[in-house]
Structure 1
C-alpha cells in the first residue's frame, strides 16, 4: 500500500474545511464568491508555504469538474503545458483543464510569455502560486490577465483545531494534552503543513500512548521562524523594525530585531539601525548616529549571541528618541531638482579661487568670508541663480532643531 503523508490525508475537500484565510475565503470573501459562481478566472495565489494554496486549487478543480494538472516550475517546461493543451476535448479533459503551476517565479520571462497563448485560449484556466511577491517576479503580461490573491500565515487559534483532528486521524488512542496541541499550533509559524508533519512525527514516536510536551517542543523547535534573506520576509521584517522605531514603539522594535537575530542576520540588523538613526531620528537627536554606530561596531566585534545586547540598546534608544525626518526630506527634494535638470551655475564668487588665474576669471572676487562678520554670518546668495529662493530644509518641531532655528532667526534678523 502506497504511503500517504498525514498532511495529504487530512487535506480539506470543501471550502468550509479550509483552515485560515477568512479575508478571501470567509462568507463574504471575494475568492469564495468567485469559486461558488463556477466562473473561474486565471489567478495567482501568493503567500508562504503550507497555508492552503494547493488545497484551494484542488477544491476549485473538484467543484468545477475540471481535470487538475499539477506542475512545479522548478521542473516543468512549456512542453508539459503544450501536452496538456493537446489533451483538451478528449476523454481525459472533457470540461477543460485547470493547471496549477507551483512556484511560477522559477519560470523565466520567455517561459512566462509562452504561457499567454494557452491561458488566452479559454480552455485552460491557470492558477499559479508563488511564495515571492508576484509584482516583483511575475511578468506583467501574465499579471494583467490574472487576479492576485494573497494567502496569509494561519493564526495559532485556527491551526489548533486542525492539530486535534490530525492526532485523532493519526492514532485515535493517543493521549494528547491541550498544552501539546497549543504548542504545536503556535510553533508552526502559520504553516499548517508543518503542524501536520509535527503531529505525524509525534504520533509515530509516542511511547505509552502519550504525546509529551517535551517531545512536542523538540519536534516543533524553531518552526515558527519564517525568514528568507532574499525574499519578502526579509524585507517585511526590516520594514517592521524601521516602522516600529519610527512609531516610537520599543517593544515592537526589539521583537523585529529578535527575529532578525534569531535568523542569524546580524548584518541586516546593523545596517538598518544605522539608517534609522539618520533617517528617522536625525536632527532631533543627532548624537544618536554616533551612539548607534558605536553599538553596531561593538556588535560586529562581539558577534552573536552577545551582539544582541548592544543592538537592543540601539533599537530601544532609537525608539524612545525624539524623531525628525527633516534631513532626508531636504536631501531628497534637492536631489529631485538635480535629476530634473535644475542645477545651474555655481556663482562666480563661490567658485574655487585657490589657483593662479582664478582672479582673472572673476572667481572668488566678491566672496564675503562669514568668519569676518559678527556671529560668523553675512548675507549672500549661495544657490545658483536658477534656484535663487528655493527652499529645501524645514526645521523640525523638536527642541534641538527649534533651538537652532531660534538662534539663526535672531542672527539673521527674522525675530
Structure 2
C-alpha cells in the first residue's frame, strides 16, 4: 500500500473515467470526454464547477485512460518559471499535457506564455476552476479551449464513492476494518453537499478517530461523524460565482413575489456574511422591481439596510428578513426605469437633439433677442399647475416612453399621468 500518508481523497482519485461518479453528461457511452479518450484526440479544455466535485479527478482519469503523464501547475501558487519547466518537453505534434488548477488566477505573463504554447501545439491545457470561465478567464485563452461545466454530485453518487473507499484495501480504508452503516454513508454525502473530497475526508477522520473494539472492528456512529463534519457550506464564497447566483435567485424570488424562496436565499447569503452585497441588492430591488407600485418602500428599504449596517450580524438578519418579506409581497412595477431605457434608446437614434427655444436658458441679457425662453408658459400660472406646451425636442415631440400595461400596476402614478394628459387636452 503506497502513499497511505496522503489524504483519502487524494488516494482515491480515479485512475480512469470508469471510476468517476456523477457527471453523466460528460462521461458514459457517447459522451464527450469518453469520445475524447476513444479518439485519443485531447484538446485544451476547462473544467468548471464547485469545489470537490471531481475537476482534478477527471484530469487524472484522463491521464490514466490516455496513458499520458500530466504536468501539474497551480496558477495561484506556482511561478511562470515553473510553467516553463513543465512545458519545455512539449513540441508541436508531441505536446505536453498540463493540468492547470485555479486557471482563473493566471496573471498576464503566465497567460501570454501559455497562449503561445497552446497556439503552436506544444502544450495541451486541462484547466480547472470554480469560477465562471466566461467571466474570469482571459477571452483569448477561453477561445482556444472547450469549456465543460461539471454538475453537483448527487448524494447517492457520493455515497457510492464512500463505499468504494471503505472496500478498497490498496488505496482506501479496507484494511481498517471499519463498520459504517450504509445510512451513515448517505448522511455524510448529504451533509457535505455534493463535495466528494469533503465527504471522503470526513469518512477518513471518522474511521481513524474510532477506537478499535476487542473484536478488531471500528464501529463508526453518527455522533462520531457529526464531530468530524465541517460546518455545511450553504452560503458559498462571497467572491465566487455561486454567490452571484444566490444574489440573482434572491432578487428573482422577490420579483416573482415568492417570499418563502426569498427568505431561503437570504438565509444562504447571510451564511456567506456579505452584508454589503445583500444591502445593495435590496436597494436595487426597491427601485428596479417595486418602484412606482409602492414608492414608499425605497425609503423603508434604506432604513432597514441602515439598521442592518449599524447593528451587524447576527442581529442584522431581523431588519433584513422584514424588508425582504415586505418587498416580496408588494405590488411590482418596472415602468419608470424601462421608460428611461426607451428614452435612452431614442436619443441614440440620430434625431435632432436641439432643446426647444422656449425651454432654453433665458436668464442673461440678450437672451430674448436670440429667441431664448420666448413663449415659455409658467405652469404655476395655470390651474392645477399644468399647461399645454411642448417640452420634448421637435424631432421627439410624438415620443411616449411611459407604458402602463397592468391596470393595477403603479395605480397612483398611472392615474396622475392620465389626469395630466386630460387637463392638457382640455386646454388645447
Scaled by the length of structure 2, what TM-score is found?
A: 0.86
Distance 1:375 1:260, change over 3 A: same
- Alignment counterpart, residue 66 of structure 2, candidates 55, 64, 69: 64
1:162: Cα distance to partner? Answer: 1.9
Q: Residues of 1 paired with 2:420 and 2:135: CA distance?
A: 52
Residue number in structure 2 paired with 1:255: 264
1:178: Cα distance to partner? Answer: 4.4
- Alignment counterpart, residue 338 of structure 2, candidates 329, 345, 365: 329
Q: Residues of 2 paired with 1:293 and 1:199: CA distance?
A: 47
1:193: Cα distance to partner? Answer: 0.7
- Alignment counterpart, residue 35 of structure 1, candidates 31, 34, 37: 37
Gaps of 5+ in 2: none
Scaled by the length of structure 1, what TM-score is found?
A: 0.88
1:360: Cα distance to partner? Answer: 5.0
Residue 24 of structure 1 contacts residue 30 of structure 1 at CA under 8 Å; is this kept in 2? yes
- Alignment counterpart, residue 173 of structure 2, candidates 170, 173, 178: 170
Residue number in structure 2 paired with 1:5: 7
Residue number in structure 2 paired with 1:147: 146
Residue number in structure 1 paired with 2:190: 186
Greater CA drift, 229-238 or 333-342:
333-342
Q: Residues of 2 paired with 1:226 and 1:406: CA distance?
A: 43
Residue 16 of structure 2 contacts residue 64 of structure 2 at CA under 8 Å; is this kept in 1? no
SS in 2 for 1:412: helix
For residues 260-299 of structure 1, the aligned pairs below 5 Å read 260-299=269-308
Distance 1:121 1:360, change over 3 A: closer
Residue number in structure 1 paired with 2:112: 113
Residue number in structure 1 paired with 2:313: 304
1:312: Cα distance to partner? Answer: 1.3
Asked if residue 102 in structure 1 is aligned to residue 101 in structure 2, the reply is: yes
1:261: Cα distance to partner? Answer: 0.7
Gaps of 5+ in 1: none
Asked if residue 197 in structure 1 is aligned to residue 201 in structure 2, the reply is: yes
Q: Residues of 1 paired with 2:250 and 2:373: CA distance?
A: 48
SS in 1 for 2:47: strand
Residue 46 of structure 1 contacts residue 148 of structure 1 at CA under 8 Å; is this kept in 2? yes
Distance 1:263 1:75, change over 3 A: closer
Q: Residues of 2 paired with 1:188 and 1:18: CA distance?
A: 18
Q: Residues of 2 paired with 1:88 and 1:264: CA distance?
A: 45
Residue 292 of structure 2 contacts residue 413 of structure 2 at CA under 8 Å; is this kept in 1? no
1:258: Cα distance to partner? Answer: 0.8
Distance 1:409 1:96, change over 3 A: closer
Render the CA deviation track for 1:91-130: whole Å, top value 9, x for unaligned: xxx9653211112222222321222332233353221222
1:310: Cα distance to partner? Answer: 1.7
SS in 2 for 1:19: coil
Greater CA drift, 100-109 or 350-359:
350-359
Render the CA deviation track for 1:21-66: whole Å, top value 9, x for unaligned: 2222244433333333321111111222211111111221222222
SS in 1 for 2:57: helix
SS in 2 for 1:24: coil
Render the CA deviation track for 1:294-344: whole Å, top value 9, x for unaligned: 222222233211211221122122222222211221222333445667672
Residue 78 of structure 1 contacts residue 115 of structure 1 at CA under 8 Å; is this kept in 2? no
SS in 1 for 2:43: coil
Residue 395 of structure 1 contacts residue 402 of structure 1 at CA under 8 Å; is this kept in 2? no
Q: Residues of 2 paired with 1:193 and 1:333: CA distance?
A: 50
Q: Residues of 2 paired with 1:294 and 1:402: CA distance?
A: 25
- Alignment counterpart, residue 76 of structure 1, candidates 75, 78, 100: 78
1:14: Cα distance to partner? Answer: 2.5
Distance 1:226 1:197, change over 3 A: farther
Residue number in structure 2 paired with 1:129: 128
Greater CA drift, 340-349 or 381-390:
340-349
Distance 1:410 1:85, change over 3 A: closer
